[in-house]
A and B are shown apart, each in its own frame.
Chain A
């Protein structure tokens, strides 16, 4: 391009969503939505201009393009022909598309979950079931000639339960979510999730305040991937790295974690919540090893930042919708299995905390300090799982906690989640097998 570094991109998206809720056996808030629009960005030097519009007519798109290009205030001008390659469109994995599903079937499943939850005990006083799906088709074309598209269908089913006892109320929650169609949900799957949510709430009725201070922590398989998402995932995103706003900047090739840690971000795990055939900049989803046997191997990249560095995007350029600029985001982030036995790990922990479910977290990438919340946890005493604990956050420093992984089992599983960054939410997966940290600060209220 004439002045080096100029780049333009058009992203057109059409999204249909539907949602419904069952609350106290009442079907309510059945909603259907549709949006369609284009986001246009123009990059000149270090500056990105972005505008979006719901007006897909030629005049609407031109107006947005002019607004996006307004940052290119000096020079420019002239017209350049761009030869787009043939469209490479991708089909969704869904075998049952959302719009083919009879709403009665959705309601049946929600009622089924409600029944299953209440069958766990009369202390269950509140059950809320939410079902949502979305079908998203986007096309992206850029001045490098890229022209790609993807159909992404996602389905999500959440069960939230409240149990009431002498000491007040407690909550239980289980999600089912995948980059799949309605085939993701079966009566068996929703029933299992509902029972799990109910049991979690009932168990916590007897919970005591969590301890306060540094203790060994065993994270159950599937529950603890969020730890890596927060402890190092965000800090390995190239935007934070290039701004020297991450504790992991400049550390490729260095030992940053216990040798038991091999961490992968992988957009190709079919059907997982963070799966994508291509990212929102048109690059194929990929399996990227971030940390191998404790050594930092690479960061995650979006198209623009990798282009500047003269390398390939790792397929991590994502955006919430056409109304948002893409940035570096995780997909499915997981720790590879180890060879310990999950039960043995617990048995070999004299005193500590066993976390059966985590509920989210947050990190300050510049300092590395991060928290993650436990929503189902127990004491470990003499190598046995004992008293349930009330909800609390755990806090640690990423580079420090990564060194403290001292056992990883082989019972791998994944959990869906929603990742928020700079005001944008995207679906992500996290995963690990049962593992132990030699010490983390438990933020409980017990003295």
Chain B
């Protein structure tokens, strides 16, 4: 049994009559290096641990839950948190749907999501990767004027969940990343481009690819202009498409649905997207950097098909939102660290790959806009109404080829419309940090706002 799970179980020992306890314990070790002008600019090493406790009181009218958390694991913090969680529970509304997860008979899939190399790789080698990344970008093209930040980072994260309702789960994950932002200039305005590489361990990182991506993205934006407003097909590259999938995933949260905050509510079984579009949520696919054995309540993660050939098939649920919807958890509880309560959400989305590559998609689209970066996703997308408007940079598509760069434009539609307007899905799946993988996607009827 993991040490964290032992600690979680020990806290369960404080249970009092008439209550249930759920404990989430997490610890992490993080390293981050930033290189600037060939030297280490910042080096951060840290380790942290903490826990979140939920206390549930069964009452005649249902149950009440109170929560408390602390950024340490000492006895005093545990005693205080238990006291506060019990007090908080007394103020909650009695709710017949409130409950903790219990074992549901679904077996956890065995996944290897850790690599000892994160811990065993000498710090000097990690530092060298950040410095090399910066060097490659600066020397890779004479038009690179500046490298704002070149970073290496990694983490080792562990968590355990135990409850008096029978949950015993522990899991671990490692990750390593390099990322860089390049600023290019050839006499006119500056342009920027961002490159990254991600893996479970430092050895999996492709520093040259990250550097090359940043250089290519920055330099091909040089001379970008603001085009006239027009309506066209927009082709989203894998990175920006992943962001779109994550937004759609948010509206497919059973929590948003039962709270009356999703435009997908009451639409199960309906056609909500083009027939070429299938969206899966599968944290048991280890190619996702966010893959997980257990969800945020300690239930086994599982594969859920959310949209299949355009038909809305399912929402993702945690225990409470599922009970409110009259169904069972899909093993999709997510929690924002020790301070967060579980809620339903997606962590490993993937759109089923199509059978054509990006070049073929561009050829078939003929004329339109190719979107390479998004800005203002949090301010321009309303996941309740579905209104969608984001700033982008990218390139025009002319005669099936990438053409001149464009900047200071927005692309707009509604999420509902965009799903139905999916014209092509590429075969070029890119596994990315975050909650979704991406591939090239073409969407019709996009309003491009420029001059």
Chain A residues at the B interface, C-beta cutoff of 8 Å: 17, 20, 23-37, 45-55, 67-68, 70-71, 103-104, 107, 125-126, 128, 162, 164, 168-171, 204, 209-210, 212-214, 243-245, 247, 323, 325, 358-364, 366-367, 369-373, 375, 390-393, 395-397, 441-447
A37-B71, A243-B146 known; A447+B93 contact, CB < 8 A: no
Cβ–Cβ < 8 Å partners of A442 in chain B: 449
- B42→A392 contact, CB < 8 A: no
Minimal beta-carbon separation of A43 from chain B (angstroms): 10
- A35→B379 contact, CB < 8 A: no
CA distance A396 to B408 in the complex (A): 6
CA distance A151 to B312 in the complex (A): 51
A169-B263, A391-B380, A392-B387 known; A212+B412 contact, CB < 8 A: yes
Whether, in the assembled complex, B355 has its beta carbon less than 8 Å from a beta carbon of chain A, the answer is: no
Minimal beta-carbon separation of A354 from chain B (angstroms): 17
- A30→B88 contact, CB < 8 A: yes
Whether, in the assembled complex, B401 has its beta carbon less than 8 Å from a beta carbon of chain A, the answer is: no
- A169→B385 contact, CB < 8 A: yes
For chain B, residues 35 to 92, give those with C-beta under 8 angstroms from any C-beta of chain A.
36-37, 39-50, 65-72, 77, 80-81, 84-85, 87-89, 91-92
- A33→B69 contact, CB < 8 A: yes
- B385→A366 contact, CB < 8 A: no
Most A Cβ at <10 Å: residue of B93, B146, B385, B387 = B387
Minimal beta-carbon separation of A389 from chain B (angstroms): 10
A70-B123, A364-B192, A371-B410 known; A29+B379 contact, CB < 8 A: no
CA distance A197 to B159 in the complex (A): 39
Q: Report how many residues on chain B are interfacial, defined by Cβ distance under 8 Å.
A: 81
The contact sample of 26 A-B pairs, CB cut-off 8 A, is: A33-B68, A33-B70, A34-B80, A35-B71, A36-B71, A49-B43, A70-B123, A71-B40, A103-B91, A104-B91, A126-B261, A162-B384, A325-B44, A360-B379, A361-B376, A362-B378, A366-B148, A369-B391, A369-B408, A370-B391, A372-B379, A373-B379, A393-B390, A395-B391, A443-B411, A445-B388
A31-B67, A31-B68, A373-B379 known; A214+B42 contact, CB < 8 A: no
Cβ–Cβ < 8 Å partners of A37 in chain B: 48, 71-72
Q: Which of B48, B145, B376, B411 touches A373 (beta carbons < 8 Å)? A: B376
- Secondary structure at the A interface, as helix, strand, loop or mixed, is strand
- A54→B48 contact, CB < 8 A: yes
Q: Which of B46, B146, B413 touches A52 (beta carbons < 8 Å)? A: B46
- A441→B380 contact, CB < 8 A: no
Q: Which 7 A-B residue pairings sit nearest by Cβ, starting from the closest?
A: A443-B410, A373-B379, A35-B71, A371-B376, A393-B380, A392-B389, A30-B88
Cβ–Cβ < 8 Å partners of B146 in chain A: 243-245, 366
Minimal beta-carbon separation of A107 from chain B (angstroms): 6
Whether, in the assembled complex, B120 has its beta carbon less than 8 Å from a beta carbon of chain A, the answer is: no
Cβ–Cβ < 8 Å partners of A323 in chain B: 46, 48
Whether, in the assembled complex, B276 has its beta carbon less than 8 Å from a beta carbon of chain A, the answer is: no
CA distance A300 to B40 in the complex (A): 24
A27-B92, A36-B72 known; A362+B382 contact, CB < 8 A: no
Cβ–Cβ < 8 Å partners of B414 in chain A: 445
> Considering only CB atoms, which chain B residue lies closest to A33 in the complex?
B69
Cβ–Cβ < 8 Å partners of B341 in chain A: 29, 31
Add 12 more A-B contacts to A243-B36, A447-B447 (CB < 8 A). Answer: A27-B91, A36-B72, A54-B49, A54-B71, A164-B260, A210-B412, A359-B379, A367-B191, A371-B391, A373-B380, A441-B450, A447-B231
Cβ–Cβ < 8 Å partners of A370 in chain B: 375, 391
Most A Cβ at <10 Å: residue of B385, B390, B451 = B385
Minimal beta-carbon separation of A327 from chain B (angstroms): 10
Whether, in the assembled complex, B201 has its beta carbon less than 8 Å from a beta carbon of chain A, the answer is: no
CA distance A164 to B393 in the complex (A): 34
- B41→A362 contact, CB < 8 A: no
CA distance A373 to B382 in the complex (A): 10
Minimal beta-carbon separation of A57 from chain B (angstroms): 10
What 0/1 readout, one digit per residue, does chain B (222-265) give for beta carbons within 8 Å of chain A?
00001001010000000000000000000000000001110100
